[in-house]
Amino acid sequence: MMKFAKKKTTETKIYKEIWKVLIVDDEKEVHNITKSVLKDFVFEHKKLDFLSAYNGKEAIEILQKHTDIAVVFLDVVMETDDAGLIVAQKIREELNNTKIRIILRTGQPGLAPEKDVILNYDINDYKEKTELSSIKLFSSLVSAIRSYRDLSIIEQNKIGLKKIISASRTIFQIHSLNLFVEGVLAQLVSILNLNHEPGNIKASDAFFAILDNDKNENKFKLLATAGKFKDNDNFNVITPEALSLLDEAFISKKSFFKDDVYVGFFSTGKNNDLFLYIEGCRELSQLDKDFIGIFSNDILVAYENIHLHNEIIQTQKELIARLGSVVENRSQEVANHVNRVAKISYFLAINYGLDQEEAKRLEMASPMHDIGKVAIPDNILLKPARLTDEEYEIIKTHSEIGYNILECGKREILQTASIIAYEHHEKWDGSGYPRGLKGEQIHIYGRITAIADVFDALTYKRVYKEAWPFQKAFEFIKEQRGKHFDPKLVDIFLEDSDTIKSICNLE
């Protein structure tokens, strides 16, 4: 009994996958004989699963339902003299199935001459029923399944490579590190499940980690998780088994498959190597493993691009903030004014409905709103007393000066800054400067920065005024709804006073 049980377990393991074969013939005995002759057929550890149809209509219905049939034994003469030929034609032209191998069988070769059939129909073999001995039937089937297998591999390669190209394009478009690592996991799981039924592969149990060895601490930090790792209550805990494999990859500086796991090693050359860890790889085919290798080659390049992009953005942001601070320091005003204006502008932009990218660009550009003041004489800019009408007209020119400084820039951030510099002193009712724009004629960037700039200027001391209490400045913004400021933006501003207080460090 024990020996029988062991044999059964082994057989189940070997034959858990099958080749589907469709028999199309109007004679039931042909079905029985074919199944009997081929009942012990095994090719590449897969047995046969037979499907039966007794006329052309049934055959097409089965083929529409089962798109993974490898071979069809197709009788020519059934309900009509050319029923089988019509089925063969529909398989190729209507069902667009080019992989299935068609073995045409006929008991009446005179009705379908072999030469004409081979020339006019996309079939793979032609046999008279009288010549189909068990050996010839076996040989024909092996040849047909080999062809089907090879075509399937080619198709899987094409689909897989298209998926890899699409996945690579996706991750190359991402500029956020967090979104990048999450995207890599999602794309890999998608690629690996191309040729598997849902649930047959556990490769969604994965994580992306970074090793920060700047301080020789060699600590792994999880960046993104999937599957069982995502469900882990303690996000920063890596199992001892996984940690051992990560150490092995770090020492060898190589990616590898080991037992059930794939570990991808990506050296950035900047003391923070990346590691991709995927469980559930034992059942992966060599094709799946090749897909992982191909896709992994793009991961490091994409990661480096993200760092380069972020470094450029941070450099631009720092330069703009410093230029904005130069103006503020020159006028002996609070240097942090530009930073607070930037944060308030971002808050208003997001709540107004601008997307994340545009809101961040506005946040980065808004510190340049008063860049034109570099051209205003000190005796006017630093005057502690009230300005004369003539002096006021001079200081108003800073908007157009700032615009002229920035508008020649080709980068989006400089174009955004030029709009802000030009329009942040325009007023909703049209009484502002330099052009007297009204309502939505004023760009949303100018309308947003106007509230942020005025509020912060009111709540902090300047050379010409003392700081206003928060509530007084808050009431002023409310009073200027529909006059100085866009009513919708004022409503957003007033709805969350706690956030505004926090940004401006006010009690």
Residues involved in catalysis: 373
Q: How far apart, in whole angstroms, are the C-alpha atoms of residue 439 and residue 485?
A: 9
CA distances 408 to 79, 420, 443, Å, are 79, 14, 18
Q: How far apart, in whole angstroms, are the C-alpha atoms of residue 432 and residue 239?
A: 63
CA distances 69 to 20, 41, 120, 371, Å, are 5, 16, 23, 71
Q: How far apart, in whole angstroms, are the C-alpha atoms of residue 361 and residue 342?
A: 10
Q: Which residues pair with 257 in a beta bridge?
A: 262
Beta strands in 206-322 (DSSP E): 206-212, 219-226, 256-258, 261-266, 272-279
Strand pairing class (42-43; 46-53): antiparallel
3-state secondary structure of 93: helix
CA distances 352 to 61, 347, 420, 446, 485, Å, are 55, 9, 17, 13, 14
DSSP one-letter code for 41? -
